[in-house]
Amino acid sequence: MICCDAHCHLGSRQFDEDRDQMIGRMLKDDVKKAIIICCSEHDLEVGLELRKKYPSFKLAMAIHPQDLEDDHSEKRLLDFEEKVKEVRPDMIGEIGLDYYSHPHTKDYQIEFFKRQLDIAETYHLPVDIHCRKAANDTYEILRKSSALGIIHSYSGSIEMARQYMKLGYYISFGASVLFKGARKPKEVIEKMPLERLLIETDAPYQSPVIGQRHEPKDVKRIYEAIASIKGMELSELCEIVEHNFDEVFKG
Ligand SMILES: [Zn+2]
């Protein structure tokens, strides 16, 4: 059995102390495929090492929408494209819009989102999309781009999910299904077609236990919760999600 973690920050400084052990735990618990999201120089450096060591890990790189306060220059975008050429990531992400945490950088976010979608198109790479309190703008921008990929940590309605799926996107769910009283994500998952479903931790972030560091090995709990919502065996769900994960990178 293989569990895929469709979004985790393995290069995060929060894992600097015990990264090897953390990856050991992850592999032992069947989490053998993952997308490593790298949105800083440090994370990218670590991510590149990990991709070399574990060929089943995919590498995504991007300028994060929350990271545009200090530098939103044209040069930053040009440097980013140079780095993409040099590094050859498997994906561009996470990119998108975050009007919840950073409403004041909205205009820069839109610009950087569009430009990174263009880069993904140019290099034929899938994308990983971050969207918070910006569903309409995100959808309108994606609709005009031919890039495809994953909507990460989805928390919207089934109607919106259907719109993204119509464009060709996969929808990825995180630990929110584990919260007691999490009615909405459960209802959305009930209605989600399996062939568009992905599962992720966003580790070290979005732990189901407030204040605790999230680890990719914990993705299994999310699989179990979703398998029970769907009324299916865990192994069957793992197989379907692994197939979806591989499809994202087939282009
Ligand atoms: Zn993330």
pLDDT tens digits along 219-242:
999 999 999 999 999 999 999 999
Q: What is the mean pLDDT of residues 64-90?
A: 95
**Residue ranges covered by each domain of the chain:** 3-248
What distance in angstroms lies between residue 60's CA and the mean position of ligand 1's atoms? 11
pLDDT grade, residue 183 (50/70/90)?
confident
What distance in angstroms lies between residue 208's CA and the mean position of ligand 1's atoms? 15
Q: Are 226 and 171 in contact (CB under 8 A)?
A: no
pLDDT tens digits, 186-208 = 999 999 999 999 999 999 999 99
What distance in angstroms lies between residue 109's CA and the mean position of ligand 1's atoms? 16
pLDDT tens digits, 38-61 = 999 999 999 999 999 999 999 999
- The DSSP letter of residue 22 is H
**Chain-centroid distance, C-alpha 155:** 13
What distance in angstroms lies between residue 202's CA and the mean position of ligand 1's atoms? 5
Residue 147 has φ and ψ, to the nearest 5°, of -65, 150
Q: What is the mean pLDDT of residues 61-79?
A: 94
pLDDT grade, residue 162 (50/70/90)?
very high
Q: What mean pLDDT, rounded, does the chain reach?
A: 96
What distance in angstroms lies between residue 233's CA and the mean position of ligand 1's atoms? 28
Q: Work out the number of other CB atoms within 10 angstroms of the CB of residue 27.
A: 15
CA distances (Å), origin 193, targets 76, 145, 162: 39, 24, 9
pLDDT at 92: 98
Structural tokens at position 167: 């464009």
Domain spanning 3-248, CATH architecture: Alpha-Beta Barrel (3.20)
Instruction: Classify 249 as helix, strand or coil.
Output: coil
- The DSSP letter of residue 30 is T
pLDDT grade, residue 182 (50/70/90)?
confident
The Cα 205–Cα 130 span in angstroms is 14
Q: Are 61 and 44 in contact (CB under 8 A)?
A: yes
Q: What is the mean pLDDT of residues 126-142?
A: 96
